[in-house]
Structure 1
Amino acid sequence: MELQQLRYVVAVAETSNFTRAAERCRVVQSALSHQIAALERELGARLFERTSRRVRLTSAGEAFLPAARECLEAADRARAEVAAASGEIRGRLAVGSIPTVAAVDLPVLLKEFRRRHPRVHITLTSSGSEELIERVRRADVDVAFLGLPPRAEPKAVRSRPLARGELVAVVAPDHRLAGEVTDLRGLAGESFIDFRAGHAGRIQSDQAFAAAGVEREVSFEVSSAEFMVDLVRHGLGVGLLPAAYAPRFANLGIVRLRDAPARVEHLIWTNHPSPAAAAFLDLIGRDDG
């Protein structure tokens, strides 16, 4: 069994197509097919069901795929560790972030990391805090930036708080409260645009309104701050965004809140960071406590 055979299996599983898998691996399709067939003979089991219309994993293939990925990741990690011992950082760095991160300037941070470590392949995933915590637990993501309600802490990952901030209400530019200061009761009766129920960005707002004794109607549930802002600009409701993030959007009314919901941004990382992840954490200025 060879690592190249494992790469071919993973590529076919992810593309569901031998031709696309061969293109990804930069080999001719016949060579890829031959190597997978040789591996199947060695294992004594078919890994893929092939028809004229599609390719899919067999039950044996489903069982084999996670182990194949683990072997490839271990091999990549070994190469990165050897390079790091020689003073060169290489390998993969998978970064995750909530869309509304404000504690760091992420594009500038990634640019500087690439300048310092050009041999590292960087990927970025944008998602909600709950999913990012789970992906860091599974080591699918190396380092992530997220926002949680003040009393919440990320579990089963290494972490440190970056910054605490308050939310502001965002409204259409011609809204009666644009540019004003009020409290949550002053927003009673408004329709709201917010993230889905259970989302960390929604929980902090729900808790704050409940504490203020204000019932609110969330008429529109969105998955991104940009979509929220588009709806707000059209006068469809009031949104809530971090005070440090909202000014990025033009033509938007800002309402400061005396009893504003708060959130804490956290930096989280895997329990055993790779050399690339360790270098990224050092660039940020991690504190291992």
Structure 2
Amino acid sequence: MELQQMRYVVAVAETGGFTRAAERCHVVQSALSHQIARLEKELGARLFDRTSRSVRLTAAGEAFVPVARQALQAAERARAEVEAATGEVRGRLAVGAISAVTAVDLAHELGVFRARYPKVRIGLQMEMSDALIGKVREGALDVAFVGLVPGARTTGVREKVLARGELVGVVAPDHPLAGQEWTSLSRLAREVFVDFAAGSAARRQRDEAFRAAGLTSEVAFEVTTTEFLANLVRAGLGVGMVPEALASELPGLSTVRVRPAPERTERVVWSALGPSPAAAAFLEGLGVDPG
């Protein structure tokens, strides 16, 4: 079993086809197909169900792909460790972040890191907190910036709290609450909400505060980014709640403090196995001791 064969299998699984996988791996499709067929023969099981219209992982493939990813990541990590030992930080830095990061100026920090370590390949993914933590746990991401309720516990990762804050209400300029300095949570609960998906870490920041106060709310619009939440609120379709530090960056909305206010923490998380040399250098640049 060779790393290149694993790389081909993972590419097919991620792209959904042999042609696209071959393009990603910069090989002709026949060579990629031949190597996967050799691997399947060695394993004694088919990894993909192929039809004229689709390629799907078999049960054996579903079991194989996560382990193959780990093997590829371990090989890349080994190479990066050797290079770091010789005095040069290389490899990759895969960063994840929610759209409501306020504790750090992420674009600036990535720019500073790129200037200092030009041979590190940097990538960024924007997703919800739970998905990001899962990807760090699996090794698909090296570092992620997430937002969680203060009491939330993470598993399989290391973390540091970067900031604590409150959520504030945001409403359209012509809303009855616009211009008010503060309102009660019970008053806001009478409004229709624009919010993140039910069960997400971002949604729990508000839901837990409402639940503690014995309140419920109607969510008519579910979004995945703060920017789209702001667009819908600006259009008068509902009200929203966002981190206080972010509210001032959303033009065309009126901010209202709420009591009792939902609380949140921003955290940076990294692998429980310890950071790669590139991830360690990035964390240290943020003033975080990766241990």
> Could you state the TM-score of these two structures normalised by the residue count of structure 2?
0.88
What is the CA-CA distance between 1:114 and the residue it aligns to?
A: 1.6
The yes-or-no answer on 1:10 pairing with 2:10 is yes
Aligned match of 2:119 = 119
**SS of residue paired to 1:122:** strand
Aligned match of 1:220 = 221
**SS of residue paired to 2:102:** coil
What is the CA-CA distance between 1:84 and the residue it aligns to?
A: 0.7
1:35 maps to a residue whose letter is Q
Tell me the distance in 2 between the aligned counterparts of 1:57 and 1:109: 38
**SS of residue paired to 1:173:** coil
The yes-or-no answer on 1:277 pairing with 2:279 is yes
Gaps of 5+ in 2: none
Tell me the distance in 2 between the aligned counterparts of 1:199 and 1:55: 30
State which drifts further: 261-270 or 69-78.
Answer: 69-78
Q: Percent identity?
A: 62
Q: Kindly provide the CA deviation profile for residues 109-165 of structure 1, in whole angstroms up to 9, marking residues without a partner as x.
A: 111112222222222222222222222222222211111122223233211111111
Aligned match of 1:135 = 135
2:30 maps to a residue whose letter is S
Equivalent runs, 1:164-183 vs 2, <5 Å: 164-183=164-183
Contact in 1 for aligned 2:169/2:242 (Cα 8 Å): yes
Q: Tell which structure's C-alpha radius of gyration is larger.
A: 1
> Could you state the TM-score of these two structures normalised by the residue count of structure 1?
0.89
**SS of residue paired to 1:101:** coil
**SS of residue paired to 2:199:** coil
State which drifts further: 90-99 or 59-68.
Answer: 59-68
Equivalent runs, 1:1-289 vs 2, <5 Å: 1-184=1-184, 185-271=186-272, 272-288=274-290
CA 1:191–1:9 in structure 2 vs 1: closer, same or farther (change >3 Å)? closer
Contact in 1 for aligned 2:194/2:229 (Cα 8 Å): yes
Contact in 2 for aligned 1:183/1:259 (Cα 8 Å): no
**SS of residue paired to 2:245:** coil
1:199 maps to a residue whose letter is S
Gaps of 5+ in 1: none
Tell me the distance in 1 between the aligned counterparts of 2:57 and 2:215: 52
What is the CA-CA distance between 1:181 and the residue it aligns to?
A: 1.3
